[in-house]
Structure 1
Amino acid sequence: MPGTTEMMVILLIAVLLFGANKIPKLARSTGEAMGEFQKGRTEVEQELEEMKEGGSDTATEETADTTTETSTTEETSSESSKSSN
């Protein structure tokens, strides 16, 4: 963590580079950018969580659908072989 002297030097350099009028605008735009970044990160984390939760539900549903289709196919095959005899 920089001390008081280092912070004063950094502030002085910032004033010389950007001018006293532009520093509040620069700070505001930096804050807005950080807010947007945090918002985007939160949205991505939520989407990943939803995909993780939805992925396990989808896998279970697909397994159930496959089981139902297999049972239906077996029943149809049994009925076809009975009617052939």
Structure 2
Amino acid sequence: MPLTQTGVKILLLLCREHPHAVSRSALLQHLWGSQPPDSDALKSHIYALRKQLELAGAAGVLVTIPQLGYRLALDSAAPP
């Protein structure tokens, strides 16, 4: 599945933290350090990653946790 470098970084962090959620601030820090972009680039990268996962048959794997961040839902037994 073709992913951008940023998409790979997001996916690796979410895999490493699975089954726990990763906050938006932790993702921003992981991707851009102390100088995150002014735009909502993270949202764009998450959107693109979701689309690639859907194309690979993994729709619904990347879950948004409102007011927190994101997590991978790799099995139905994983806690939110």
Task: Normalising by structure 1, report the TM-score.
Answer: 0.29
Asked which structure has the greater CA Rg, the reply is 1
- More strand by percentage: 2
TM-score for both structures, normalised by structure 2 = 0.31
Q: 1 or 2 for the larger relative contact order (CA 8 Å, sep ≥6)?
A: 2
User: More helix per residue: 1 or 2?
Assistant: 1
